[in-house]
Chains A and B, each alone.
Chain A
Amino acid sequence: MYTAARPIKLACRNVWKVYGRRPDYYFDSRGYVIDPDALAERLRAEAHLPAVVDASFEVATGEIFVIMGLSGSGKSTLVRCLSRLVEPSAGEILLDGRNLLAASGKELIELRRHAMGMVFQNFGLLPHLSVLDNVAFPLKIQGKPAKEREARAREMIALVGLEGREASFPHQLSGGQQQRVGIARSLAVGPELWFLDEPFSALDPLIRKQMQDEFLRLQRMLKKTIIFITHDIAEAFRLADRLAIMRAGKIVQIGRPADIVLNPADDYVAQFTEDMPLLRVITAGDIATPANGTALPERSVAADTSLEALIPQLASGVSAFTVPVAGDGPPAVLSAGAVLAVLEREQARRKSS
């Protein structure tokens, strides 16, 4: 839905990260096509740890791409490979078509100063700086004059709703407030690419929900290209345009939330997603079918409406909806039967589990 229309911002091709005594040894044979699973197996047998196995995906401009997996699945290592905080063992990372792995130290610093921002699970705020100075820190590093960076920092602090706390120090703030500072800091240089590494995992559930709303609000305003890491499946399905599920270093499935719940790639993904309510994850746009010349129903719903929200209307006797499609294509039709089919499937899932 999104990928076709927008240019690719970040592409990750066959990226590996291997820890061990001599990881380079395994990647010096050019031209061979190696079966990733076999290589991972061999690495493990030879006392190496393949943290990221042959990861490939593309992220479109303005998209929220969520990488999800349990702890130890390699998701944090993968996001660090993308920002080169961790040096990948093999593969290619293209940012706007330029190979990031070929960038020199100086170029990398320039990229980090202008093109990327990152938010960390444990906030990573500098304990000796006030909120204002923390947010202004990336600008200070660039040598921007004090006045300019202060103005920009105040703007960012207002954006995340922390006005009045500029002079506080990190230890005087709650977890949620600290992460707001982290978000403001990562946005201060106006990056197009935004990495968030489990940003809300250290927060209480209630605060986490608030922060997710806040995050979606910000994204509607800012339209960044986002790589979001999480181990929380509800969070992943709530925020993602598309998501990738990782297991033991390998990406096992990439797709829109609806694709993943409707067509899980394997038992692992099926088990992983079995508690996600289909009616809430699947939207009208996901299962609407092309009209093919038949008459369009009177009622119209937006493509991103969840099926759950349609149930009251179905109960009141509506039998079909018109669903406008993004772009110029002809609108699609969603029949009550299709919704009921999903409902039946959900019931079957509940019974079997």
Chain B
Amino acid sequence: MTAPAAIAPPAQRFAIAPALVPWCALAVLTAFCLLLKTELPWLVNFPKEWTLPLASYINAVTDVVVSVIQPGFRGLSALLDAPMRGARLALAWLPWPAVMLAVTALALKSSGERLAIFALATLAYILLAGYWPQSMNTLALVLLAVPISIVLGFLLGVLGYARPRWRPVLNGALDLMQTVPAFAYLIPLLLLFGFGPVVGLIASAVYATPPMVRNTMLGLDRVPATISEAGLMSGCTRRQQFWQVEVPTAAPQLLVGFNQTTMAALSMVIVAAIIGGFEDIGWEVLSSMRKAEFGQSILSGLVIALLAILIDRLTIGFAKAPETGPTRAMRWMTPRRLALSLATALALAVVIRLAAPDATLLPETGLRMQMGAVNQWLLGLVRDYAWSFNGVRNAVLYCLLLPMRVGISGAATPAMWGFSLPPSALAVYVGLVAALAALALRRFGWRAAVAVLAAGLVLYTGFLDLPWPVFILAVALLAGQVGGPRLGLFAMAGFGLILVNGLWPQLVQSLYLCTLAVLLCLLVGGALGVWAAHSERVSRALKPICDALQTMPQFVFLIPALMFFKVGEFTALIAIMLYAIVPPIRYVEHGLRHVRADVVEAVEQMGATPLQTLLQAKLPLALPVVMLGLNQTIMAALSMLAIAALVGTRDLGQAVYVALGKADAGMGLIAGLSIAFLAILADRLIQSAVARSAAASS
């Protein structure tokens, strides 16, 4: 009877996990591809002759469709043009003292005296810096885009709430609206609506709608069952139930949606300035950057940043009451007093306009006129310290960026690194990777070993020289094993589409830039997050910085990066990192701080050192939260890709940007969809991984 039991263990030892088999096959294929690389160059460079001219098909179709439906949209454009002019004129008509009074009153009501002081300071700065009219133009666009997005988003959200069957379609559409870079749909919008600020308005409305939809669905979904049952038992009709029970209960979440929508609209209004024609603050930043007037670009960038923070705090104040209860100033500002203040502001405006109908009342010379010397100084500074900026840039470029791109095999040449690797060194490298993989196999299982081998391979060949069949199959296999066969097929189809459209080189550039940015963000941000989790002081110091970085429109990040490091990939990397570093800091800190206290106490009681506690208890327990942070980082990096194209990259974002310049709707859409595909794939992969580990641990 004991014989079978005695035989069983050795049989198990040689068993290979079924999921490992395809990876082994892939390894064989990889070796095959690498060996045949020189004979069959198409394995690495997808030949031009094989590409499908999908973009030109799309263009042909759009041309026909646009010519048919264009009159209708031009009409809509004209229709929207009137309120836009109206809003612009109204804000230009309002004298600044009236605006200040109204905004201060709102700030007092929203979050109390500190925000009111901040509002006054911000508006005073805008006035003194000489950007008042431009800021008002930007505000006019935001004021128009927000109601459109709010109404549309609320209706769609209610639809998604009432018809759960439509949810998947709706969610897919929202994902696309948020991940396709706006530059990509600016082209068809321009074709349809004609050149002008209306396009910016519509692009903003498109981009700003999804947060409202999501928050509406979330808020209505989360109405507690007892509250809706209490409504029903009170005898509510369907309509009463919705408007008097469900919507008011969901109101705080709806206000959060209002806040996010407003911020998205502001961000996109500024990005849409790239098409010009509206003399708004985004245009100021862009044109001063193009003229290398860094003094002005910092001044105007600061206007955007301050405006963003002000609008964010103002709207979030109405959504969430402070935890310590309303301050005295907030209680003092009753609705009646608020209405009175607003009426006073309006009366003041009327009086001023009656007294001086045509006066601008703006300072004659703003700070921006006196920036010549500052510009000189800044340029001189950058020139004088060029060696240090260039040193940093070159160090990162030659040690990180280029090796990632062309791999060790490409970088280890006299031209780049000043030396080439002898075969013996290569042997050491192979041995090292093999040893690491063996170690990973023993400690963490075969999945870690495969990951180590893959990383070793990519480091050696570089992203650029990776054979595309291997890459596509590897990602599809990973997606299939983590998220199921459908995700695998999705990955395969997406990459296939990019391949046949001849965008593979741009894809690889995007991938390596994003991978590097995300890794660096995780490293730097993760370390900061760990530090903040263990030190109140660091946490308090980082919070306002993170808040500010997160509220700022993406555009602003280009200014410092461009100023110090000039046009180039490294500049893009810095800009992407500035935008994408907040999620790892936040999520790592949050994850570590909210690890179950009893587990940590148990581990400490066993005599673990702080480092052991961190590495062996806290980090593994916080992993799901950290993974969510990783997800956010990837989304941020990909969304910044399109903006970073402005400072010179060679990736998909650049493809979109170039297409915008050439009004090539087809190419723009395909490149934009490619970025969206990457974002959605990464998102689904990480979410399934988190769900799997959650299912495994419960």
Contacts and interface: CB of A to CB of B under 8 A. Distances in A.
Interface of A: 80, 83, 85, 109-114, 116-118, 120-129, 137-138, 140-142, 182, 185-186, 189, 195
Interface in B544-576: none
Interface stretch (B236-244, B400-408, B434-442, B447-455): B236-244
A112 B234 contact: yes
B248 A126 contact: yes
Contacts of B30: none
B226 A113 contact: no
Interface size class of B (residues with CB under 8 A): 10 to 19
B232 A125 contact: no
Contacts of A118: 229-230, 233
B229 A141 contact: no
What 8 pairs across the A-B complex have the smallest Cβ distances? A113-B235, A124-B230, A124-B226, A138-B234, A112-B235, A118-B233, A120-B226, A128-B248
A83 B235 CA distance: 11
B245 interface: yes
A113 to B, nearest CB: 3
Contacts of A117: 233
A189 B234 CA distance: 9
B239 to A, nearest CB: 11
B337 to A, nearest CB: 19
A80 B226 CA distance: 11
Contact of B233 (A85, A121, A128, A142): A85
Interface in B205-235: 224, 226-227, 229-235
A141 B241 CA distance: 9
B542 interface: no
Contact of B236 (A80, A110, A120, A141): A141
Given A124-B230, A126-B231, A127-B249, 15 more contacts: A80-B229, A83-B233, A112-B235, A114-B235, A117-B233, A118-B230, A120-B230, A126-B227, A126-B230, A126-B248, A126-B249, A128-B248, A138-B234, A140-B244, A189-B235
29 contacts: A80-B229, A109-B235, A110-B235, A111-B235, A112-B232, A112-B234, A114-B235, A116-B233, A118-B229, A118-B230, A118-B233, A120-B229, A122-B224, A122-B226, A124-B226, A125-B227, A126-B227, A126-B230, A127-B227, A127-B248, A128-B249, A128-B251, A129-B248, A137-B244, A138-B234, A141-B234, A141-B236, A141-B240, A182-B230
A162 B234 CA distance: 21
Nearest to B233: A118
Contacts of B237: 109
A182 B232 CA distance: 14
B235 A142 contact: yes
A141 B233 contact: no
Nearest to A86: B229
Nearest to B244: A141
Contacts of B226: 120-124
Nearest to A142: B235
Contacts of B235: 109-114, 138, 141-142, 189
Contact of B234 (A110, A121, A137, A195): A137
A309 B536 CA distance: 61
Contacts of B251: 128
Interface string B363-391: 00000000000000000000000000000
Contacts of B224: 122, 124
B230 A125 contact: yes
Contacts of A121: 226
A113 B249 contact: no
A85 B240 contact: no
A80 B244 CA distance: 22
B96 to A, nearest CB: 36
Interface string B338-362: 0000000000000000000000000
Contacts of B233: 83, 85, 112, 116-118, 186, 195
A110 B234 CA distance: 10
Nearest to B232: A85
Contacts of A116: 233
B322 to A, nearest CB: 14
Contacts of A128: 248-249, 251
B234 A113 contact: yes
A124 B229 contact: yes
Interface in B467-481: none
B169 to A, nearest CB: 23
A113 B235 CA distance: 5
A124 B241 CA distance: 14
A114 B240 CA distance: 17
A182 B240 CA distance: 19
A128 B249 CA distance: 7
Contacts of A127: 227, 248-249
A124 B227 contact: yes
B242 to A, nearest CB: 13
A138 B236 CA distance: 8
A126 B247 CA distance: 11
Given A141-B234, A141-B240, A126 B229 contact: no
A212 B231 CA distance: 25
A132 B232 CA distance: 19
B575 to A, nearest CB: 43
Most chain B CB within 10 A, of A114, A141, A142, is at A141
A118 B245 CA distance: 16
A122 B224 CA distance: 9
A126 to B, nearest CB: 6
Nearest to B247: A128
A142 B240 CA distance: 10
Contacts of A129: 248
A163 to B, nearest CB: 23
Contacts of B229: 80, 85, 118, 120, 124
Interface string B242-271: 001100110100000000000000000000
B566 to A, nearest CB: 55
A122 B232 CA distance: 15
A266 B659 CA distance: 79
Interface string B450-494: 000000000000000000000000000000000000000000000
Nearest to B230: A124
Nearest to B227: A124
Contacts of B245: 126
Interface in B119-159: none
A118 B228 CA distance: 12
A157 to B, nearest CB: 16
B228 to A, nearest CB: 8
A109 B233 CA distance: 8
Nearest to B236: A141
B594 to A, nearest CB: 23
Interface string B300-327: 0000000000000000000000000000
Contacts of A186: 233
B409 to A, nearest CB: 57
Interface centre among B227, B229, B234 (most CB of A within 10 A): B234
Contacts of B230: 118, 120, 124-126, 182, 185
B521 to A, nearest CB: 39
Contacts of B249: 126-128
B506 to A, nearest CB: 48
A114 B235 CA distance: 8
A137 B234 CA distance: 8
B292 to A, nearest CB: 54
A113 B249 CA distance: 21
A48 to B, nearest CB: 21
A2 B577 CA distance: 77
B84 to A, nearest CB: 35
Interface in B29-50: none
